[in-house]
Amino acid sequence: MSYMFEVLYKSPSDARREATISEYVAPFGGNLTCREEPDVIGIGPVCLTYEFDDLGVAEQAASRLRSRGEHVEGPVDYGD
């Protein structure tokens, strides 16, 4: 079973911020599996989806990002 959470931030895209988020997630074994841009007119957030093999580890990674001020939704069961 897989678990995932989403990190959302206000557009515009910020490659440096995304790299930092991924660096914080990497030690927990999370993989970036999806990246969504705002809609065509640029309204909405950038959404990064990270997938994990273990719920407890996903919760730890989400907690670490929240402590840095990131908006994290989840983790939830991603399904198989």
> How large is the average pLDDT for residues 24-30?
95
- Report in angstroms the alpha-carbon separations of 3 from 6, 31, 40: 11, 11, 29
Q: State pTM to two decimals.
A: 0.91
Instruction: Give residue 32's domain range.
Output: 3-75
Residue 34 lies in a domain: yes
| CA separation for the pair 66, 72 (Å, rounded) | 7
- State the pLDDT at residue 1: 76
Residue 80 lies in a domain: no
Chain segment 32-72, per-residue pLDDT in tens: 999 999 877 767 899 999 999 999 999 999 999 999 999 99
- State the pLDDT at residue 38: 84
Read off the tokens for 49. Answer: 């989806």
Task: Report the CATH number that the domain containing residue 45 is assigned in CATH.
Answer: 3.30.70.260
pLDDT at 25 over 90: yes
- Domain tally for the chain? 1
